[in-house]
Amino acid sequence: MNMIVTPASPATPNGTTRPQVRIVIVGHVDHGKSTLVGRLLHETGSLPDGKLEMLKAVSARRGMPFEWSFLLDALQTERDQGITIDTTQIRFRTNSRDIVLIDAPGHAEFLRNMITGASQADGAVLIIDALEGVRDQTRRHGYLLHLLGVKQVAIVVNKMDRVDFSAERFKEISDEISAHLNGLGVKPTAVIPISARDGDGVAMRTDRISWYKGPTVVEALDALEPARPLEALALRLPVQAIYKFDDRRIVAGRIESGSLIAGDEIVIMPAGKIAKIKTVESWPATPVAGRQGAGRSVGITLDRELFIERGDIVAHAGSAPRETRRLRARIFWLHDKPLAKGDQLLVRCGPKESRATVVAIEKAVDPGELSSSENKAIGRNHVGEIDISLSNPIATDPYTENPRTGRLVIEVSGRIAGGGLVLSVDAGQRAVPVDIVPVESALRPDERSARYQHNGAVVWLTGLPASGKSTLAKALERRLFTNGGSPILLDGDTLRAGLNSDLGFSTADRSENIRRLAEVATHLARNGHIAIVAAVSPAREDRAAARRIADTAFREIHVATPAEVCEDRDPKGHYKKARAGALASFTGIGNDYEAPQAAELVIDTSTRTVAEAADEIEQMLKNTGVLFDEAVDLAANI
Amino acid sequence: MDHLDQLEAQSIYIFREAFARLKKIALLWSLGKDSNVMIWLARKAFFGRVPFPALHVDTGKKFPEMYRFRDHYGKEWDLDLRVEPCPPIDAVDPTLPPAARSAARKTEGLKMALGKFGFDGLIAGIRRDEEATRAKERVFSPRGLEGNWDVRDQPPEFWDHFNASPPQGAHLRIHPILHWTEADIWAYTKRENIPIIPLYLAKDGKRYRSLGDQDITNPVASTASNIDEILIELEQTKVPERAGRALDHETEDAFERLRVAGYL
């Protein structure tokens, strides 16, 4: 091995001072991605010594002709199946670029791996078999490149040797794919005829493609630009965590766009609190000089103590992101179960997470199909536009204004199930946040918890009229109070006499009634009280809305006393009146009560005493972390 | 921002995500060049303090220089160091080739440490450029209840959103320097003046490019006696980094079998 040769220029971190670009090669299965990669490595002199010989020997031993793709199929499992399972990364050099090549699988089964690979790329090569032409996975990958924000796309038409290097066939394919991509707003940087197996068009323009005047693949890669940090845009510093390791209180995160410096006036979204950056912290403790720009992971301290949490966004006053509980997104979906209207999800925008409900689905299509027939739900590996309603307000930007913060992922059961771009942010009827500066309580939640021996919660009793909701609510209230807690009863009828006196019994008014109950109860819960709500609340969607408002504090109890027992009890005489036709819109004698499907607790009061039912509720509150057990680890609840 | 700044910022982001989203994590400190860079990055991420334990799963067969390094810098860097032993060789799958079997002790030791402390996340210093199966890793990589890796069913991971919800009883591997190369590690070590074990530098025409157990790691021919010379050497060489690691070369799939079973 010839080692210490003094190079012409000194070695720098990535070998040279040249830009590094990350490339993904995508396309339909068997159109020759791995072959192209193998060929590229060979043509650029990037193969380790002996690798080619080793693989040729392995092929011979297996009685197979050597294939360039074997280079990548390093895993035994892949060789057995003959398909690339996952994203691998390979490095090589062209004249002026260091290339990190991400090989992504073409098999539809592994679309999540294609997305994982392509999401890291600055540019893409979309490969098409000259014989087979544009296929469903070609179109799907083209669409996903657009959704993933990969703008530099070079097309290679491979296996030209199989079509006798026909310029006509090349033009046919070139026209078809260019039209498809142009429709998505993606303009190919080059369309190149090649034979990856023989080498034509990869690093050299051979005689067989003498009619082609454009760049080779290597030249096209050489022209790609690395991604640039978004310093020119407005400041967005999503908060990853607040650290209090010593007497400093450091707000830590990565600057996604814009820049900051000590002394800047900032606003913290979504709450809209205002502060000034006191210091930019670092370790080792050398002073941080100058503005810190996009891409940096930083830690800042502020000139005042504010309640800030993970997921908040630090921005400059005057150019803050919008606060919203509702947004529209264009997404791709990877989960087995199609995404449908009404589905409950977890949405992540940067470090911020919020539970969410799909309110509407539009333009759900299979991007691989030519004629895109629209569906009601978004199937696996399909795309669509969705409206989502969020249980917590989040601060975000439309994708067109900020490609870093204007995107989201969707989680189902703790696993990423989809992702996409924020198309628009609907600030709705909520006031502009800078006009509202909520005054925060002087007390911290843990101070109250320590006194009451419980966390704040919304205990929501739903059930038919006369099912026993109010009786149970009062028994629970008494018991919690006796134990030193702070329960507060919110009875639907009582609130209708005051706060909700403007509301009737139309569907819309009932929904608004529930929303107000939930908002009041949630406010109490956030301040450490246990709000006990007794309300028929017959509509499932209304209760789901209440759960979104109260979020993790919500505990639903279905008081499931049989209808005939309720009607028999009839303490307020409502059933009698309703039967006589004197009480319109009465829930109970029709079929208009929608029972909960996943309540935290179900209680039938016809088969147990009030005390027994209260025991069960108490146990549920203990099991779900509301009530503390005897040996309290307070620290765990802070 | 230069190339190293970008790598550093990305690693710090990953460290902070792991610390925010998991309950009980530890950093696997193998004492090698990569895990020392990791500790450095963790101190940067958390402003000087590593807020979780550094776990050394000790085969008992490391080089004496490595033990000296551990004892010295464990104190100097104020690490919460936990040293956990590995089981004897008899307890390990006898169908593995000898070197792989020896290395598999570490997997068993790791499983025992996991059971003992109940970590839900382990931070490991593997890199994509080291080895083909590592190239397929996710940054947050779920492990099964037995610590195993299911390469066929890896969750999607994009835009720095990580799957951080391991099932009850299982754990995640977190790879904060997955995107670094061997040359990046050395350039950063030099820039930040991070201490190294002298075995990496050439002596009598040989040096170690990768450090493992004494009996299954061999030096490579080299005259690189400082980091600048190592960087120049890496520019020229076509010999893979793990060439000196016996366990990679016993059979075509020995390394993959180890990784599927939970090896780093």
Residue-wise pLDDT tens digits, B18-47 = 999 999 999 999 999 999 999 999 999 999
Nearest CA in chain B to A20: B3
The secondary element (H helix, E strand) that includes residue A623 is: helix A610-623
- With contact defined as beta carbons under 8 Å apart, do A603 and A464 qualify? no
Q: Are residues B106 and B217 in the same domain?
A: no
- With contact defined as beta carbons under 8 Å apart, do A14 and B184 qualify? yes
| Among A112, A95, A94, A111, CA closest to A23 | A94
Among B17-21, B154-158, B240-244, where is mean pLDDT lowest? B240-244
**What is the CA angle B35-B40-B43, rounded to 5?**
125
Q: Which residues, in sequence order, are bridge partners of residue B217?
A: B245
B44–A88 CB contact, under 8 Å:
no
Q: Are residues B221 and B92 in the same domain?
A: no
User: What pLDDT sits at residue A85?
Assistant: 35
Instruction: Tell me A229's DSSP state.
Output: -
The pLDDT of B175-181, averaged and rounded, is 93
Q: Is the pLDDT of residue A492 over 60?
A: yes
Does any domain span residue B156?
yes
- Residues of chain A positioned with their CB less than 8 A from the CB of B163: 411, 414-416
User: What pLDDT sits at residue B227?
Assistant: 95
User: What pLDDT sits at residue A584?
Assistant: 64
Percent of chain A scored above 70 by pLDDT?
A: 87
Does any domain span residue B190?
no
Q: Are residues B169 and B201 in the same domain?
A: no
Q: Are residues B45 and B113 in the same domain?
A: yes
Query: What distance in Å separates residue B222's CA from the closest CA in chain A?
Result: 7
**Counting Cβ atoms within 10 Å, is residue A445 exposed (0-12), middle (13-18) or buried (19+)?**
middle
Cα separation, A378 vs A364, whole angstroms: 5
Please state whether beta strands A123-129 and A152-158 pair in parallel, antiparallel, or not at all (unpaired): parallel
- Report DSSP letters for A453-481, one per residue: TB--EEEEEE-STTSSHHHHHHHHHHHHH
Which CATH number fits the domain that encloses residue B167? Answer: 3.40.50.620
User: What pLDDT sits at residue A87?
Assistant: 43
A4–B232 CB contact, under 8 Å:
yes
Q: Are residues B86 and B48 in the same domain?
A: yes
Does any domain span residue B224?
yes
A13–B224 CB contact, under 8 Å:
no
Percent of chain B scored above 70 by pLDDT?
A: 93
B5–A295 CB contact, under 8 Å:
yes
Q: How confident is the model at residue B200 (pLDDT cuts 50, 70, 90)?
A: very high
Query: What distance in Å separates residue A109's CA from the closest CA in chain B?
Result: 10
Question: How much is the ipTM here?
Answer: 0.91
A247 touches chain B (CB under 8 A): no
B156–A416 CB contact, under 8 Å:
yes
Q: Are residues B154 and B224 in the same domain?
A: no
A243–B133 CB contact, under 8 Å:
no
Nearest CA in chain A to B162: A416
Nearest CA in chain B to A300: B47
Query: What distance in Å separates residue A429's CA from the closest CA in chain B?
Result: 31
User: What pLDDT sits at residue B132?
Assistant: 66
A201: left (phi over 0), alpha (psi -120 to 50) or beta: left
Does any domain span residue B187?
no
**What is the CA angle B55-B141-B130, rounded to 5?**
75
Q: Are residues B235 and B175 in the same domain?
A: no
Q: Are residues B112 and B165 in the same domain?
A: yes
Which residues, other chains included, contact A61 with Cβ-Cβ below 8 Å and sequence gap of 6+? Answer: none
Q: Is the pLDDT of residue A156 over 90?
A: yes
Query: What distance in Å separates residue B85's CA from the closest CA in chain A?
Result: 31
pLDDT (tens digit, 9 = 90+) per residue, A549-597? 888 899 999 999 998 888 888 887 788 877 777 666 677 665 588 889 8
Tokens, residue A366: 């299979």
Domain span including residue B236: 196-249
- Residues of chain B positioned with their CB less than 8 A from the CB of A353: none
Does any domain span residue B191?
no
- Residues of chain B positioned with their CB less than 8 A from the CB of A86: 136, 151, 154
Q: Is the pLDDT of residue B130 over 90?
A: no
Q: Are residues B165 and B220 in the same domain?
A: no
A112 touches chain B (CB under 8 A): yes
Residue-averaged pLDDT of chain A: 84
Q: How far does CA A592 lie from the centroid of its chain?
A: 35
Does any domain span residue B186?
no
Q: How confident is the model at residue A82 (pLDDT cuts 50, 70, 90)?
A: very low
Please state whether beta strands B54-58 and A292-293 pair in parallel, antiparallel, or not at all (unpaired): unpaired
Question: Which of A4, A13, A90 has its CB closest to that of B184?
Answer: A13
- Residues of chain B positioned with their CB less than 8 A from the CB of A49: 238-239
DSSP alpha helix (H) spans, A128-186: 136-148, 167-184
Cα separation, B264 vs B255, whole angstroms: 10
Taking CA atoms, A79 is separated from A69, A108, B49, B240, in Å, by 10, 18, 45, 22
| Among A607, A112, A501, CA closest to B138 | A112
Q: Is the pLDDT of residue A512 over 90?
A: no
Q: Is the pLDDT of residue A262 over 90?
A: yes
A301 touches chain B (CB under 8 A): no
Q: How confident is the model at residue A194 (pLDDT cuts 50, 70, 90)?
A: very high
List the 380-419 stretch of A: residues with Cβ below 8 A of B: 407, 409, 411, 414-416, 419
Q: Are residues B25 and B115 in the same domain?
A: yes
Q: Are residues B101 and B133 in the same domain?
A: yes
Residue-averaged pLDDT of chain B: 87
Query: What distance in Å separates residue A473's CA from the closest CA in chain B?
Result: 35
User: What pLDDT sits at residue A64?
Assistant: 78
Q: How confident is the model at residue A637 (pLDDT cuts 50, 70, 90)?
A: very low
At B169, give phi and psi (nearest 5°): 90, -15
Q: Which residues, in sequence order, are bridge partners of residue A424?
A: A328
Q: How confident is the model at residue B145 (pLDDT cuts 50, 70, 90)?
A: confident
Instruction: Tell me B139's DSSP state.
Output: S
At A530, give phi and psi (nearest 5°): -105, 110
Question: Which of A7, A14, A240 has its CB closest to that of B3?
Answer: A14
* One-letter amino acid of A423: L
Does any domain span residue B31?
yes
Q: What is the dihedral of CA B161, B162, B163, B168, to 10 degrees?
A: -130
Q: Are residues B130 and B224 in the same domain?
A: no
Cα separation, A306 vs A268, whole angstroms: 9
Choose, out of B152, B178, B179, the residue to mutate when testing the contact with A (most A CBs < 10 Å): B152
Quick check: helix, strand or coil at residue A294? coil
pLDDT (tens digit, 9 = 90+) per residue, B245-262? 776 666 656 666 777 777
The number of domains in chain B is 2
| Among B195, B203, B245, B194, CA closest to B224 | B203
- With contact defined as beta carbons under 8 Å apart, do A358 and A331 qualify? no
